[in-house]
């Protein structure tokens, strides 16, 4: 596995890292097996978050042993000093480690939020104190809004930046990669498969391997996914013209109105598994797998028509998607396939 420098942190991280969202869906023993397989395959960078339910704990099952060559990253939505200090201690407990290699401010969405975390009583102050205590080695920031991330980089306060970058979302590369290079920031690529919407996955990942990024962190929850994704980085082959055309055809089919499965819309007050429904709807509308998608849609405990249009999901969505309208589209697609009682 190729290792790249994570900016001025100096850490040498695997080109393919492991994102921590999907591991929430598997049991503890399966999670331990997947993370152990990742280490065996050469992955040494693992990214989680306080907001990913039990993701930190599941990583901790296999990563608890402090090793100098295994790097653990996490992040918190805390904006104030005291809240962040509590989250840091919670992360250490979950990971079963004495320190976290990289702690990030999670999904800073507005310039007001950035100002808040940078204030004397803000979250960054807690991270700096934790660095002095040896609890945190390096500090980074994550987000989806380019204007906010550009301003954050220019403060000089952060050593890494994590943002969505894939073949369908190039704005981050165009604006942030040159800026990150100028400030010697480590670049962590999230949503490399656009939340699983980009297919085939191996083309989408190979597209990114050619860029000056530090690590790419697809979410993985099976040993098979680990093996498939790491093999791409071990024997990198640039895309052919034919493969690039295939990827562009897929991008054109997707458009911009699709769910990236970041899961920030969750939990829904009505219990709707919004990203899952959008995944099934994508298989229905984009890939023609109507029977397959309908069977799985109706097996869910709650369907899309349970939406009461409270709007909580749209307020949380970092992509400003019209979630309620998309749920209505799913209802229209699957309604005629309702199983007979």
Q: Using CA atoms, how far apart are residues 59 and 221, in angstroms rounded to an integer?
A: 11
Residue 237 pLDDT exceeds 60: yes
Residue 66 pLDDT exceeds 60: no
Residue by residue, DSSP assigns 96-139 as T-S-EEEEEE----SHHHHHHHHSTTBHHHHHHHHHHTTSEEEE
- Which has the higher per-residue pLDDT, 256 or 266? 266
What pLDDT is recorded for position 307? 97
Q: Report the predicted TM-score, pTM, of the whole model to 2 decimal places.
A: 0.84
Question: Structural domains in the chain?
Answer: 3-239 (3.20.20.100), 274-337 (no CATH)
337: which DSSP letter? G
What pLDDT is recorded for position 257? 84
Peptide bond into 200 cis (omega under 30): yes
What pLDDT is recorded for position 287? 63
Closest by Cα among 251, 239, 184 to 208 = 239
Identify the H or E element spanning 216: strand 215-216
Q: Using CA atoms, how far apart are residues 301 and 180, in angstroms rounded to an integer?
A: 44
Q: Using CA atoms, how far apart are residues 232 and 221, in angstroms rounded to an integer?
A: 17
Mean pLDDT of 22-51: 93
Residue 129 pLDDT exceeds 70: yes
Q: Using CA atoms, how far apart are residues 31 and 44, in angstroms rounded to an integer?
A: 16
Residue 192 pLDDT exceeds 60: yes
pLDDT band at residue 71 under the 50/70/90 scheme: very high
266: which DSSP letter? P
Residues 6+ apart with CB under 8 A from 52: 20, 21, 24
Mean pLDDT of 59-81: 89
What pLDDT is recorded for position 64? 72
Residue 230 pLDDT exceeds 80: yes
pLDDT band at residue 253 under the 50/70/90 scheme: confident
Mean pLDDT of 235-258: 89
């Amino acid at each position: 596995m190729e290792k790249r420098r994570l900016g001025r942190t100096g850490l040498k991280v695997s080109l393919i890292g492991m994102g921590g969202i999907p591991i929430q869906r598997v049991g503890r023993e399966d999670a331990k097996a997947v993370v152990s397989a990742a280490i065996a395959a050469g992955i040494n960078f693992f990214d989680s978050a306080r907001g990913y339910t039990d993701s930190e704990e599941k990583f901790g099952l296999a990563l608890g042993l402090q090793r100098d060559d295994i790097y653990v990253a996490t992040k918190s939505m805390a904006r104030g000093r005291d809240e962040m200090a509590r989250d840091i201690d919670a992360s250490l407990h979950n990971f079963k480690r004495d320190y976290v290699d990289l702690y990030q401010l999670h999904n800073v969405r507005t310039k007001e939020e950035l100002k808040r975390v940078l204030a004397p009583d803000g979250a960054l102050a807690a991270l700096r104190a934790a660095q002095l205590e040896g609890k945190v080695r390096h500090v980074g920031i994550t987000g989806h809004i380019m204007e906010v991330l550009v301003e954050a980089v220019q403060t000089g306060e952060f050593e890494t930046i994590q943002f969505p970058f894939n073949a369908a979302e190039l704005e981050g590369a165009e604006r942030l990669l040159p800026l990150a290079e100028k400030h010697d920031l480590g670049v962590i690529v999230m949503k490399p498969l656009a939340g699983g919407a980009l297919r085939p996955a191996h083309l989408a990942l190979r597209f990114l391997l050619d860029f000056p990024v530090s690590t790419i962190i697809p979410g993985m929850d099976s040993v098979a996914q680990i093996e498939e994704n790491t093999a791409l980085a071990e024997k990198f082959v640039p895309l052919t013209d034919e493969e690039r055309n295939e990827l562009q055809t897929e991008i054109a089919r997707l458009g911009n109105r699709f769910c990236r499965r970041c899961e920030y819309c969750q939990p829904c007050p009505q219990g709707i598994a919004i990203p899952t429904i959008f995944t099934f709807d994508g298989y229905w509308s984009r890939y023609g797998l109507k029977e397959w998608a309908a069977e799985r849609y109706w097996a869910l405990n709650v369907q899309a028509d349970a939406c009461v249009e409270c709007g909580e999901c749209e307020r949380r969505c970092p992509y400003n998607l019209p979630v309620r309208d998309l749920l209505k589209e799913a209802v229209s697609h699957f309604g005629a396939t309702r199983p007979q009682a």
